[in-house]
Every structure is written in structure tokens, then in C-alpha cells.
Structure 1
Amino acid sequence: MMEIVTVSITCASGDQAQRIAQHLVENRLAACAQTHPIHSTYVWQGAMEFSAEVMLTAKTVTAKLPQIEAAVVALHSYEVPEILAQSVAWCSESYTAWLHETLKG
């Protein structure tokens, strides 16, 4: 079975996060996506930045990561969008079955 991962994608706005989330789920690149507001502090082009952003978290499998990256790069407004995948240490059997079935599409 393919490894389950969560993918974190920082977005400039709720609209952008929703567009990307919908694309990922509709195209069966992610089984589920959630968004929530965040406040980010980072250095960009040598300057300290403070931004209100939206974090998109997608549940998927490692085999979908290249397609997710391509989709995010195409749909995102940032020059360098954050796309981080984290391995899931444990997942219930029923959720695992649902996720794999959903991604078959």
C-alpha cells in the first residue's frame, strides 16, 4: 500500500486555498483538504515579512506528490510556494481504506 502523507501548502488567500483544494480533490490528487488562517513570519528577498495567509492541508499518498506539485505551481500566485509533505505515522484502517478508495478515481 502507498504511504499516506499530509501536504502543507501556504496560500495567499482563502480564495486561492479553496481553488487549489478543489482542484486537488476533484482530480483525485488528494482525498481531503482543509484550510485555516495562519500568520507567517519569514525572510523573502532579504527582507523580514509578516503575512496573514491560509494553510491548506491535503491528505494523499506519496505517488501523487509530483502531480500535486505541478498543480500547485500552476495555480499558485507565489514565485516559490510552500509544498511540504509529512509522513503519517499511523492512520485508522477505515480512514486508510477510504483514502485509498477515494484516490483511485
Structure 2
Amino acid sequence: MNAQEFCIVLTTTNQEAETNQIIESLLSHQLAACVQTMPIQSHYVWQGEVCSDNETLLIIKTKASLYKQVESMINDLHNYDVPQVVQVSIENGSNPYLAWLDETTK
């Protein structure tokens, strides 16, 4: 199994209902095998102002070939004007885990 066929997609949300909707949509459409969440505090500049917000980080495990569909779904469901949607390549991973990722996504 080639680990580089898989990736992690990161996004953040600030509403629990939106977080749950993104997760449910990604999993039910087989665009992700797993989504982990973590509470975080984000500090950033938006429209010239320094901002700080409590957010939820979504760590989405998927195939690299599905990235554009994942990005599109997040953008469609997100309330932010410019949501964070970034792809992180997987260099290596255990074969059983990568096989599970492959079997669980379309």
C-alpha cells in the first residue's frame, strides 16, 4: 500500500451543529474514513484585526484523490467566508491502517 495515496485534511469550525454536519456528510458520502475533533483556540488576523476564537479542529483522514470533493463539501457546509481547508500528505503509515482507509472511502 502506498501511503502517499492518502492524506489528512484540516479544517476548523466554531459551531457544534456545523461540525457535526460536516462530519456526518463526509462519512456518509465515504469521503473520509475517520474524522477526529479537538477543541482549540485560534489566533489570527481577519480584515486587519487581531482575533481570537474558540474553535474545533477537524482532522479528516481520506484519500488524496478525494481532496477536491472533501474541500468542496466543507466549503458548501461552512459558515466562514474563508474556511481553513488544507491537505497534509501522509509520507508513511502502517499497512493495516492504510488498507482500512482505502476500504472505508470510495
Quickly name the TM-score band, shorter chain normalised: over 0.9
Quick one: percent identity of the two aligned structures?
38
* TM-score in terms of structure 1 length: 0.93
Number of residue pairs aligned between Structure 1 and Structure 2: 104
Q: CA RMSD in A?
A: 1.2
SS of corresponding position for 1:79: coil
Q: Which aligned pairs between 1:6-21 and structure 2 lie closer than 5 A?
A: 6-21=8-23
Deviating beyond 4 angstroms after TM superposition, the runs of 4 or more aligned structure 1 residues are none
Alignment correspondent of 1:77: 79
Distance 2:5 2:84 in 1: 21
Corresponding letter in the other structure for 1:32: C
Q: Which of 27, 37, 44 is equivalent to 1:35? A: 37
Distance 2:45 2:26 in 1: 28
Asked if the contact 1:41/1:48 (under 8 Å) is kept, the reply is yes
Q: Which runs of 5+ in 2 are unaligned?
A: none
**Displacement of 1:86 after TM fit?**
0.5
Q: Which runs of 5+ in 1 are unaligned?
A: none
Distance 2:18 2:49 in 1: 24
Q: Does 1:3 align with 2:13?
A: no
**Displacement of 1:16 after TM fit?**
1.5
